[in-house]
Structure formats: C-alpha cells, structure tokens
Structure 1
Amino acid sequence: MTLLATLTRPQKAAAILVAMGKPSASRLLKFFKQDELKALIEGARLLRTIPQADLERIVAEFEAEFTEGAGLLDSADKMDTILNESLSPEEMNALMGKDEPAAKKDTTPPVWPQLEKLEPAQIGTFLSNEHPQTAAMILSNLAPTYAASVVLTLDKPQRSEIIKRMMELASVPQAATKLVEDQIRTRVLAESAQKDTSVGQTRVASVLNELDKSQLEEVMNDLREVGMADLDAIRARLFSFDDVPVMSQKARVALFDGLSSELITLALRGTALPLAEAVLSSIGARTRRMIESELSQGSEGVQPAEILRARKTIASTALRMANEGLLELPSAQNAA
C-alpha cells in the first residue's frame, strides 16, 4: 500500500496547508470551524515526510494549483507553527478541548540578558544562518549597545536587510516570540554552556596576572609540560606593566588618559628607557614634564612594594578596559 493511500482526508488537507506556507495558510485557517481545525491538528500530528510525487497527487485531488518544487518536511512542527502564529493561546486551548490553566508565574530566566553575555561574533554567526526577519526580531530585543556590536559582525548586504526589517518590524505575537526564545535556549545558550571555557580561562589568567614575569614563565612552562589545554587562550588574557611597549599607540593613550600622574610616576620609577618612553609618549606634554621632573629627583624613600603595586594597578586597569571593549591588548604572540 502506498503512502498516499494511507493518508486521511484531514492529513491531506494539512499537507496542502503546510505546503502553502504560513501567510496563505494563516488566512485560510480563519475560515475553518473548530471541529475541522481539531481534525487538521490531529492529522498533522501523524504526518511525516511526503514525497514530491505524492504531494502533487494530493494537490490534484483537491483540484488546486501547487508551486513546483515545494517539498514537505516536519509537517507536524510546521502546522504547529502556523496555528500558534494564527490563533491566540485561548483559541488553541478551546480548539484542543483544554481547560484554561490557572495563571502561574513563569520562572524561566529571561533569555535576552543571557544572550548579551556571549561574544557578539557568536551571535552574528547564529543570526547569519537565520531568516532576516527572525534576526531583526532578535536584535530588537537586545540592548542597543550590544545589538550594534552584533550588527558590525554581519556581512554588509545581510546587515542592511536586517536593519531595514528592524525599522518595519511590527508587534510580534507572543507565541512567535516564545518559539524564538526556545530556539535560542536550545541552539545558542545550551551549546555555549557546553563549549564555553572562557570563564575558567579568565579565572586562571586573573591568578597568573598576580605573578611577576619570571614566576609567570615558570608556571606556564609547568602547565605546558603537564599538557594543559588552552594555554594560548590563557596567555592572550595575560598582561603586565612590562607589556605596555607592545600595545598600540591608540591603546596606550586610552589606558593612560584616565590614570593619575602620581600613579604613573610611581609605576615608572626604576623602569628601562624603552618602557618609560612608551608610557610618556602616550600622555600630554604638560603631564609628561611633571612626571619627568619627579623622576629626575630619584626614588629614594620609595618602597619597591609600592612601585610593584602601582604597576599591577595599571595592568589590572588595562585588562578591565579590554574586557569592556575600550581598548585592544596585544595578541598573545606579540606579548610573549
């Protein structure tokens, strides 16, 4: 017995609705009676992949035209999507004979703040594989600053199309919003939780950043010998005051612009000329003269521990600013 012969009339009707697509099917659903809609849903639940040839025969039976090349996969899921976007939750409950559930508080954590904790490039990759309308809806729910960072990771044609749709975006049905949120939890957040080791890398780097250069290299060599993974990623999160010369001029200016002259003076005491010049060339002429005058008087009475503390404060500030996207630290290769 062929697949076509086993299909009921409601299943054939459901197949045609799914093949028509959501816009057309949604308009037609308004003309069905409750018992007819219920029969369609029950039929769609049991519907599986239908070969193209059988689908054309179904269309011929209904004496309707069908766009060449339309396929049919996951019919039940697509029918659910059409119904959820066409009918209110109350209508769906009435249709399926369900009693109206007592309102209860949704304890699921909001998806959008969790999404904003991920790297913008990761979200950009996810959106590049989605329909522009879906991408527009997702970006519209993110904080503007974060959304802008994501937009910059997209290809220009795709970026323009998504922004255009964001401008034209109307109110999104609650059912559609929930479908998107569920997909984000399943395909983005859950996957990131399994793969993302950046939190652990940052934790290790924060400890290693407290070591001086000789201690740091000793520990890194020990970790390399025991075969610890992600050492390059950890090194990329390391930064010390001695790494200032390999920073870009733009990054150095951003770093030292917000630091006090007293802190910079203290950190520069006893430094080699290249390091001192890298710092002094990043500050204003007047401040530079003041610091040079202080340094020329020597370091008598200044405790080495105070100097080390000042240097670690500057390194910590650089790391914090890098995490906030305010400056770019040198790569691990340049800093090594």
Structure 2
Amino acid sequence: MTTDKIERASYSSPSFGNVTTKKLKGAEKAAVLFLCLGEERGSALMKSLSENEIRSLTHSMAGLGVISAAMVEEVMKEFGEAVANGGSVVGSFSMAEAMLRKVLPEEKVGSILREIRGPLQERDLWARFSALNETSIANYLRSEHDQTAAAILSNLEPNVAANVLPLLGEERMISIIERMVRMDAVPHHMMKQIEETLQKDMATVAAQPTLSERQKNMADLFNRLDNQLFEKVSPKLEQRLPDTFPDIRQRMFTFDDLIKLDANSLVRVMRSVEGNTLPVALRGAKDPVKEHFFSCLPSRSRDMLKEEIQTMETPKKRDIKEAQRDLLDCARQLASEGQIELPTADEEEEEYA
C-alpha cells in the first residue's frame, strides 16, 4: 500500500462534520495514520512502502508536532472511535527515528535522519541567534549587505528585530525596513548560504563584548595602571578618543573614589582587609583622602591607625599601590555580595549638578 493509496483510502471525503483537513497535506495525513497504528504495526506497514515514500513519510512525521483529537478523528475516519477515546497524538523526531530503524539499514536511516535534522537545526539556529545580545547582533549586521541584513532580521523574533534596527542608524534602518517590506521569499540556496555562514559565525558573535563591556574592561585596566602614568597619558587619550574616553573614565573606580562611599560602607571596607594593608595604603594617600578615612572611624580606632602610620617604616611605592588595590578589590567584592553599594556615574553627576 503506497502513501498515495493510504490517502485515497482514508480521505475520500474532504470533511468530517464541521471540521476540515485543510491544514494537513499529502504525506502528513499518512503520517497520522502510522502514528495511530503505533510503532509495531506502523513499522510493519512501512515495509511495504518504497524508499522515497518512507523518506516522505518520516519527514512529515518528524515535523507534525501535536495533532488535535478532532483533526485525528477527521483524518482517520476508520479509527474515529478509538482515536476519540485516546485523545491527541504527537509526531516527534524520536518516533520517526524508532520506526525507521525497524525497517531500513543503518546507513539509510542515518541519511534520512540527517535530512530531517537540517530543518530542525535551522529553527534552532534562529532561536539561538535571537537570544544573543542585541548589540552583538547589530555589530554583526553592520558588515552585511542591507539585503542580507533584511533576510536575517526577518527570521528573528519581532521584538528582537525591533530593538536591533535602531542600533544600525536611521538611514540604514530605513533601507533595511524597506527591503523587509518588499522582500519576496528568499531563494532556498541563498537562505541556506546565509544560515551556514551564521552557523559558523555564531560562536564569534556570541563572544563579542558589548560597548559597555569593552568600556568596563578598559576602566578596570586603567584602574590598575600606575596613577602617575595614567594621569600623564590621559590628556592625549582625551584628545584622540573624545567620544569614548570620557565614558571610560567615568566607569573607573580609583582608590581616591573610596571617599565617595558612605561612612558605614567605608568602615566595612577598612575592617575587611587584613594585616597592615590599611595603614600602608593610607601612608601613600593624599591628605584629603587620608583625613576622610580617619573621620569615618571612632576616635580610639582613628588614633591607633594614625599612630601606626606615623611609626611604620616608609613602604615601597609598589607596596602602597598593592595595598590600595587590595582595598579597591575588597570594595568591589563587598559590592558584588550586596553588602555595600559603589557610587555610579549617574549619582556623581547628580551630586555635582
């Protein structure tokens, strides 16, 4: 019995009651029959089909998804009563694979399964690409032709595409939207090429840091530079990078910035470092910074700290920098644990407004 015969035998009437079968076509209807027969009987029946018919049937079966009880009852009239009692059926990749392995040699099973996996992987590809950071998607599309960008955005979740488009600039956004509106179906070979390229580039796109992440990384780097060296090169960087360097500098959190913490938070930072880290760090601090640290402590603790600083041997410059860096690292750690809050650029702007 061929799939064509199955269709003619099972669907001689185009309707059943008030339900129509317009959503199911050809081999999809035959696939419903096989699923209703179950794995054993379905596999036995599949042996009477040709390889091309098996290929068509399993393609349809793998992509069926959930078929409602009403649709099953309509398509499979001769099994109507049994199906109505049993509810819906589910077509899945695993079900198609199980039936295939019972009727075909392993090499042919592998070939058909690879063909089926292709479309499933394509759907997964677009879902994974839609889940990427929108700035990363926009950066990727900047190097693509507008027509390619339109094809890619047309396959993304609408809310993702809506957030990505403005990041490409107004002029290019209008051009891409126009192409998306006018776009007919993209030829299969072109879409396949886009998907293959996207599959290869996916890891690279996902690994690309956002502008905010790049600025934060540079701010961390500058925080660890020698302070005198940083102040020496800053004017040149401001001149050469007028659009980005100020933003990076705002993200920097230096030892001197610790005085922007509230008194309780600063005391918590001071008490969290070990050994002589605090006196060594303050020994090399500017006087206003040093006095602010002192002002946050109880009088007895303040006097003891001042005495320790005055009587200690003069530390090396690198030891001072390391101690100050330890205090900064401690502040960041406490902030990451939610024990204190570091001042943000917005808060600083409000303070000096």
Bin for the TM-score computed over the shorter chain? 0.3 to 0.5
Specify which structure has the higher proportion of helix. Answer: 2
Q: TM-score normalised to the size of structure 1?
A: 0.44
Larger RCO of the pair (alpha carbons < 8 Å, separation 6+): 1
Task: Determine which structure has more spread, i.e. the larger CA radius of gyration.
Answer: 2
Q: TM-score normalised to the size of structure 2?
A: 0.43
